[in-house]
A = this chain, B = another copy of it.
Amino acid sequence: MWIQKEITLEARPRGFHLITQDIERAIADCSGIQVGLLNLFIQHTSASLTINENADPTVRADFERYFSRAVPENEPWYEHTLEGSDDLPAHLKSSIIGPSVQIPVTKGRLNLGTWQGIYLCEHRNHGGSRRVVITLQGE
């Protein structure tokens, strides 16, 4: 069984945002899958997806601070600067974190660990809404 849909995540500020509920809502009609895999793919090069701690918002605030130090803006040797000082760092963060996540599906549910949630990582100051392709397969 294959299910594929495209969803739009509302615009969020630069930073790391829990979207587990957005995804669970989008696949609510898939409870019949006993064994499967979910693939989420963000169709952008300045935002990314990851899985991390789902309880304490300071983790997500620390993520924004860490990645914005590890991939600084305004390095004098950046050449790709026409789209703003946050643009090239956003591309770099997007490839460090990655554009997709794969999550096992078991007995009709995402088989995440207790503390795992899905993050939208918004690397632009004003990234706007973001499109995600959801592909769910299983039996």
Chain A residues at the B interface, C-beta cutoff of 8 Å: 2-4, 35-37, 39, 41-45, 50-53, 56, 58-59, 61-63, 65-66, 70-71, 75, 77-80, 88, 91-92, 94-104, 106, 111-116, 119, 131, 133, 135, 137-139
- For A4, A52, A56, the residue with the greatest tally of chain B CB atoms inside 10 Å of its CB is A4
Known contacts A2-B35, A115-B45; is-contact A80 B62 (Cβ 8 Å)? yes
Bound Cα distance A4, B138 (Å): 11
Q: Is the CB of A35 within 8 A of B135?
A: yes
- For A80, A95, A101, the residue with the greatest tally of chain B CB atoms inside 10 Å of its CB is A95
Query: How far, in Å, is A20 (CB) from chain B's closest CB?
Result: 13
Q: Is the CB of A113 within 8 A of B131?
A: yes
Q: Is the CB of A137 within 8 A of B41?
A: no
Q: Is the CB of A104 within 8 A of B62?
A: no
- The interface residues of chain B lying within 8 Å CB-to-CB of A59 are 80, 88, 91
- The interface residues of chain B lying within 8 Å CB-to-CB of A79 are 58, 61-62
Q: Is the CB of B112 within 8 A of A43?
A: yes
Q: Is the CB of A102 within 8 A of B104?
A: no
